[in-house]
Copies of this chain bind each other. A is one copy, B any other.
Amino acid sequence: MRRSTLEEVAALAGVSKMTASRALRGSSDVAEETRRRVQQAAERLSYVGNRLALSLSSQRTNLVAVVVPSMSNTVFPEVLSGITTGLAGTGMQAVFGISDYDEVKEREIIRDMLSWQPSAIIVTGLDQPHDTVRMLKSAGIPVIQVMDLDGTPIDFNVGLSHGDAGRDMAVALLAAGRKKIAYVGSALDKDLRAGKRKAAFQRVLAAQSLSFVSEQLDDGFSSIALGKRLTAHMLAAKPEIDCIYYSNDDMAAGGLFACMEAGIIVPSQIVLAGFNGLDLTDSLPAPIATSKSPRRAMGEAAARLITDAMKDGEKSSGEAGPKTIVFKPPITGLKQGWT
């Protein structure tokens, strides 16, 4: 069953294509009677409308391209969810792409997305290679970089400083009296933001003439299972550790389960700290410290930035709102007095 076209609807309603178009889009100056006939015709034909033609003709797609590194880590779907929510009712629609933490794939996906002529594009992080940045710049649309602030944005920027997050957590753990701190992480070559947190954390330690008493790193992607395994290893080798900083909450939750199996009491014997503030962390049988990143809010903020930019574009007005939106993730799960 071939899809019916506007022309067919118009013919059935006995009007011109143009009138049919106006009627269906709810233009004001169409006779009520005409509108009804057109709508009935469209209904009868199950008319759907061809947005390729619409967008090509009108020169705007109302598409927002979004590129994230992964769908496996809950964090990114949550951001996407926020973006979708923020875009709801604006006529804009998000389209998602996954880069698999791969710069080359990311470039190809961005190119691909740009070929659909989106009205704006949201990408993860600030660490795109030069040629990707060049491509983004020459697209001539608002570019929003989300989730990270540590770097030089192309255009708009929404996120949090992972350097600050790592630093703050180190300060908080030291303030809680922890001295023998270890690190457990994974895929740091791919997850650059986790690397920034770790580096900042280490800088704080170094300032106190301290360093990680042990490190467990793995190439695989972060997961509860991996965090559990690496932690079990580490605890077996270095039982004197009194604190572990993890690349994120998944790993830290796994660490908690490893401690429980080893009969090590959290947090009195050992404090565990992650990053993200996954919902999970509020329900665990023992507290783990974490930085609560507002994923959904970041997504919504990015969406808002775009809708605002579109409005400003229309009015061709001068100033276009703030270019950077800063979030500060609070630390939870860490109480004083655990010395």
Contacts and interface: CB of A to CB of B under 8 A. Distances in A.
Given A48-B114, A84-B71, A280 B78 contact: no
Nearest to A281: B224
A220 interface: no
Interface residues of A, number: 54
Contact of A3 (B78, B139, B279): B139
A228 interface: yes
Given A50-B56, A76-B77, 20 more contacts: A1-B138, A2-B140, A3-B138, A3-B140, A46-B135, A46-B138, A48-B139, A49-B115, A50-B117, A51-B115, A54-B115, A71-B78, A72-B78, A81-B98, A95-B96, A224-B279, A225-B279, A253-B283, A261-B285, A285-B285
A283 B254 contact: yes
A111 interface: yes
Contacts of A134: 46
A112 B70 CA distance: 25
Interface of A: 1-3, 46, 48-56, 61, 70-72, 74, 76-78, 80-81, 84, 93, 95-96, 98, 111-112, 114-117, 134-135, 138-140, 223-225, 228, 253-254, 257, 260-261, 279-280, 282-285
Number of copies: 2
A10 B133 CA distance: 25
A96 B96 contact: yes
A282 B225 CA distance: 7
A266 to B, nearest CB: 11
